[in-house]
């Protein structure tokens, strides 16, 4: 990657300065073609471990591996040139120790060309964030609903509804910020908790199911585009591509079966240059 191409991208320091300013636009991306389409409009493209569910059909994100994240991370970096690309550290790749987290994060940055990693902030993870940032690795934290803890927490449930839970998530957010995170995803929390986190931490917050009070927003792109028959409450569908794709495939199948496709104009001819 040339020095010029690096300089065109949103950088970790410039992302952090967006606190309280123009809202940060973030979407998930898993492939080069989709990254190319979204790149001109987004500040951050997140290669989320949600790819396990969205692309690979897994029931949760727990089964996603580091190699899977690197494969998709490479594709998104190739397909983009302006947005900051962040890649999730998957379950099991960072929880044991700061050194384990560094090994996984350094692999991601070296092998994909991404500019940051994202970690779900549970017990002890703030220490690992500090370890990473102190060694030159930009980190985006993730508090509130933590998909990698789905088994421990009994499903994908909103967080912060009790006073005890409110204080726990707020404490995790403070620790993540103090550890040097460049930004923080806040997922599935009450508007009051999202507002308190955003007002408390110095880094920008990026909400998903956390109301409009955050410094930016992120959605799973396939949810936003209407590719699934069910979407979470907090998702606004901006398209209905599921219906569009089903209709296109149905018409293609009908044309193949009837012999209408391919037509003579879609065939190669001897002596033709086209």
Which residues belong to the annotated binding site for Mg(2+)?
49, 88, 120
Question: How many CB atoms sit inside 10 A of residue 267's CB?
Answer: 8
Buried b (16+ CB within 10 A) or exposed e, 20-32: eeeebbbbbbbbb
Q: How far lies 213's CA from each of 73, 127, 197, 207, 255, in Å?
A: 29, 27, 10, 8, 50
Q: Where are the alpha helices (DSSP H) in the chain?
A: 3-8, 12-16, 32-38, 51-54, 66-78, 98-112, 125-133, 150-153, 163-178, 191-200, 221-224, 241-258
174 close to 126: Cβ distance less than 8 angstroms: no
Provide CB contacts within 8 A for 71, sequence distance 6+: none
Give catalytic residues, as residue numbers.
Answer: 187
207 close to 214: Cβ distance less than 8 angstroms: yes
Q: What is the C-alpha separation between 203 and 181, in angstroms, rounded?
A: 7
User: Per the annotation, where are the binding residues for 3-methyl-2-oxobutanoate?
Assistant: 49-50, 88, 118
User: Per the annotation, where are the binding residues?
Assistant: 49-50, 88, 118, 120
């Amino acid at each position: 990657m040339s020095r010029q191409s690096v300089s065109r991208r949103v950088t970790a320091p410039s992302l952090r300065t967006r606190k309280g300013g123009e809202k940060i636009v973030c979407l998930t991306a898993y492939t080069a073609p989709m990254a190319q389409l979204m790149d001109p409009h987004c500040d951050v493209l997140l290669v989320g471990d949600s790819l396990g569910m969205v692309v690979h059909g897994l029931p949760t994100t727990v089964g996603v591996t580091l190699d899977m994240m690197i494969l998709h991370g490479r594709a998104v970096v190739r397909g983009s040139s302006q947005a900051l690309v962040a890649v999730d550290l998957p379950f099991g790749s960072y929880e044991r120790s700061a050194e384990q987290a560094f090994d996984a994060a350094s692999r991601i940055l070296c092998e994909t060309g991404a500019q940051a990693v994202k970690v779900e902030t549970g017990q002890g993870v703030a220490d690992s964030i500090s370890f990473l940032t102190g060694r030159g690795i930009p980190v985006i934290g993730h508090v509130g609903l933590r998909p990698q803890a789905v088994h421990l927490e009994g499903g994908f449930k909103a967080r912060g509804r009790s006073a005890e839970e409110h204080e726990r998530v707020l404490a995790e957010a403070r620790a993540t910020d103090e550890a040097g995170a460049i930004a923080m995803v806040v997922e599935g929390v009450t508007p009051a908790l999202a507002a308190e986190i955003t007002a408390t931490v110095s880094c920008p917050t990026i909400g998903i199911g956390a109301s409009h009070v955050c410094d930016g927003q992120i959605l799973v792109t396939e949810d936003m585009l209407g590719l699934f028959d069910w979407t979470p409450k907090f998702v606004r569908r901006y398209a209905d591509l599921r219906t569009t794709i089903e209709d296109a495939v149905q018409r293609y199948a009908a044309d193949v079966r009837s012999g209408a496709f391919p037509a003579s104009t879609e065939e190669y001819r001897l002596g033709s240059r086209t």
